[in-house]
């Protein structure tokens, strides 16, 4: 008996619809929770956000009036605050626009039915049914958000090494008391002397920079193990040392609360630096390197693969022999040679990893182009007299994106592992700049006694790599018509 497969099973449709409803509900909950989290950060750090925007406008005016004066003041730490402030405001706006669009589509089902679905939208819907990949995407979004918002959510500066006799090797959830001194924290950049608009803008910018660097806590603090008042003095202990300080040297002259309590959620390292802050700031390095390296290597591999497959002949032979040589040469050994020869700056690491990771993408793209260039639509384009560049970028390259996207999502995890390995060996990002790899390296000699130094960045690396691999599996299933169901 011949079976008719043209009509889908009602049970299958019901299960698919239930899966879509669950995924849509999960997306709605995630968007609401994310929006609430961003609003809470915005409210809690409102002072720092306002100072960041004010300094951004002041810096813009100073650039227009005196670029050289701005160059003398500018530092990358301030750029981090600007990016964080813009990201903190932009993401809620984007989330609200997405929620509004979803509500409009839900209120007009006839518009939704008449909407023509492109291949991209069909693939997106297929990806939305991949629950595990959605969870992994949510975690990666939170990790990147933490990297962007590091200046606002990190409780301490990742470089602070104050009073390490008290703060060194503190376990997770340690609470330490600190005396608030009348003495202000040292100005990183001295105020300029003189008058005029340029000097006024420069001094305003310097003052804002100081507030941002100190996280709007201008007074210096001194961590202590314990303290007690005796008359007009305060006697405190730091390690085995006992010292005395006058109440007049404390904030408020000792009339108000003279101490604050600081909590180190993930503990501290051998220099008294907060592990949580270093892990958050380290995510900027690790995640940024992974994204930039994959972007550069995938772009380079796609261009070389398309050119090799389309033109063929001696171009194909030359490029593929270069690819064969680079693949045969041990990538890690080549990276070590380049770093040992030219140094180990962050930019060199990005360039080195990018130019040693494009060969696999080039081979994948070349194989796709070899099969595509004999198709009827390419032959028709050639017969119409279209240029090679138009055929490559308009017809061939878009049709090779599926394996490229899959390769990119799967490669980000391996790049993060490679960078962490280089930093662990002391050949990657150099201290005191934190990255997950060099934080693990700093705690490897004391892993048994002070396990938290290496454990938490290791968990961050594990989580990131697993999530990117799960996203790669979800993208592969969504872009493969045989896996859409």
Span 88-143, pLDDT tens digits:
999 999 888 887 776 776 666 554 554 555 666 777 777 778 888 889 999 999 99
Q: Please report, rounded to a whole number, the percentage of residues in the chain having pLDDT higher than 90.
A: 19
Domain shared by 83 and 174, yes or no = no
Average pLDDT over residues 34-63: 91
Domain shared by 89 and 225, yes or no = no
368: in domain? yes
- pLDDT score of 51: 92
- pLDDT score of 254: 57
Q: Give the pLDDT band of residue 368 (cuts 50, 70, 90).
A: confident
Domain shared by 341 and 479, yes or no = yes
Average pLDDT over residues 347-376: 84
153: in domain? no
d(CA 347, CA 350): 5
| Mean pLDDT score across all residues of the chain | 82
Domain boundary among 203, 229, 264: 264
Average pLDDT over residues 277-300: 89
320: in domain? yes
Q: Give the pLDDT band of residue 281 (cuts 50, 70, 90).
A: very high
Q: Is the peptide bond before 432 cis (omega within 30 degrees of 0)?
A: yes
Looking at the predicted structure, is the pLDDT value of residue 20 above 80? no
Q: Which of 351, 463, 472, 483 is nearest to 406 (CA)?
A: 472
Domain shared by 299 and 380, yes or no = yes
Q: Give the pLDDT band of residue 165 (cuts 50, 70, 90).
A: confident
Q: Give the pLDDT band of residue 67 (cuts 50, 70, 90).
A: confident
Domain shared by 56 and 179, yes or no = no
Domain shared by 257 and 364, yes or no = no
**185 φ/ψ angles, rounded to the nearest 5 degrees:** -65, 145
Q: Give the pLDDT band of residue 275 (cuts 50, 70, 90).
A: very high
Domain shared by 301 and 402, yes or no = yes
455: in domain? yes
Domain boundary among 264, 283, 299: 264
Domain boundary among 207, 235, 264: 264
Q: Can you give the CATH number for the domain in which 410 is found?
A: 1.10.3720.10
162: how many CB neighbours lie within 10 A of its CB?
16
* 438 contacts 305 by C-beta, under 8 angstroms: no
- pLDDT score of 174: 92
Domain shared by 260 and 281, yes or no = no
Domain shared by 325 and 234, yes or no = no
Domain shared by 459 and 432, yes or no = yes
- pLDDT score of 82: 93
d(CA 475, CA 411): 13
- pLDDT score of 252: 66
Find how far residue 156's CA is from the centre of its chain. Answer: 18
Looking at the predicted structure, is the pLDDT value of residue 8 above 50? no
Q: 208-232 burial by CB neighbour count: b if 16+ within 10 A, else e? A: bbbbbbbbeeebbbbbbbebeeeee
345: in domain? yes
Domain shared by 175 and 244, yes or no = yes
d(CA 362, CA 308): 9
139: in domain? no
1: in domain? no
Looking at the predicted structure, is the pLDDT value of residue 2 above 50? no
Cβ-defined contacts of 108-112 (< 8 Å, 24+): none
- pLDDT score of 446: 84
Structural domain harbouring 257? 164-264
148: in domain? no
- pLDDT score of 84: 93
Looking at the predicted structure, is the pLDDT value of residue 12 above 50? no
Average pLDDT over residues 183-187: 71
- pLDDT score of 106: 66
- pLDDT score of 4: 46
Q: Which of 485, 349, 361 is nearest to 411 (CA)?
A: 361
**426 φ/ψ angles, rounded to the nearest 5 degrees:** 85, 15
Domain shared by 403 and 445, yes or no = yes
d(CA 272, CA 169): 7
Total-model pTM: 0.84
Number of folded domains in the chain? 3
Q: Enumerate residues 6+ apart whose C-beta is below 8 A from 443.
A: 269, 450, 451, 452, 453, 454
Average pLDDT over residues 446-452: 88
């Amino acid at each position: 008996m011949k079976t008719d497969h043209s009509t889908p099973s009602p049970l299958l449709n019901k299960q698919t619809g239930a899966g879509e409803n669950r995924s849509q509900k999960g997306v709605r909950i995630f968007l609401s929770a994310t929006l609430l989290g961003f609003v809470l950060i915005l409210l809690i750090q409102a002072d720092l956000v306002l100072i960041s925007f004010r300094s951004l406008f002041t810096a813009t005016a100073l650039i227009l009036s005196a670029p050289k004066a701005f160059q003398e003041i500018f530092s990358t730490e301030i750029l981090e605050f600007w990016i964080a402030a813009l990201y903190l405001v932009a993401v809620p706006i984007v989330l609200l626009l997405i929620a509004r669009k979803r509500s409009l589509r839900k209120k007009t089902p006839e518009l939704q039915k008449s909407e023509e679905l492109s291949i991209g939208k069909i693939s997106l819907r297929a990806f939305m049914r991949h629950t595990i990949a959605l969870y992994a995407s949510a975690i990666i979004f939170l990790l990147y958000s933490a990297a962007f918002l590091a200046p606002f959510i990190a409780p301490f500066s990742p470089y602070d090494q104050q009073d390490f006799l008290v703060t060194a090797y503190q376990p997770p959830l340690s609470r330490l008391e600190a005396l608030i001194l009348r003495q202000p924290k040292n100005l990183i950049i001295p105020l300029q002397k003189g008058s005029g608009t340029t000097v006024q803008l420069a001094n305003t910018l310097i003052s804002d920079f100081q507030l941002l660097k100190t996280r709007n806590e201008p007074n210096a603090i001194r961590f202590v193990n314990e303290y007690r008042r005796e008359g007009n003095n305060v006697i405190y202990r730091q390690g085995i040392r006992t010292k005395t300080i006058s109440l007049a040297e404390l904030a408020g002259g000792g009339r108000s609360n003279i101490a604050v309590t600081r909590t180190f959620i993930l503990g501290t390292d051998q220099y008294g630096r907060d592990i949580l802050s270093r892990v958050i700031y380290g995510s900027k390095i690790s995640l940024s390197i992974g994204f930039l390296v994959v972007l550069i290597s995938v772009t380079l591999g796609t261009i070389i693969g398309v050119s090799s497959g389309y033109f063929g002949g001696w171009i194909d032979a030359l490029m593929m022999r270069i690819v064969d040589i680079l693949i045969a040469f041990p990538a890690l050994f080549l990276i070590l040679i380049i770093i040992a020869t030219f140094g180990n700056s962050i930019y060199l690491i990005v360039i080195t990893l990018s130019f040693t990771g494009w060969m696999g993408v080039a081979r994948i793209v070349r194989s796709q182009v070899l099969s595509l260039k004999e198709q009827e639509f390419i032959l028709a384009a050639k017969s119409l007299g279209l240029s090679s560049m138009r055929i490559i970028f308009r017809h061939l390259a878009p049709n090779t994106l599926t394996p490229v996207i899959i390769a990119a999502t799967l490669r980000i995890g391996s790049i993060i592992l490679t960078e962490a390995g280089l930093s662990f060996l002391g050949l990657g990002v150099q201290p005191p700049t934190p990255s997950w790899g060099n934080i693990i390296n700093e705690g490897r000699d004391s892993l048994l006694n002070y396990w938290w130094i290496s454990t938490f960045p290791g968990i961050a690396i594990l989580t990131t790599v697993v999530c990117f691999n799960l996203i790669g599996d979800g993208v592969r299933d969504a872009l493969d018509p045989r896996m859409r169901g």
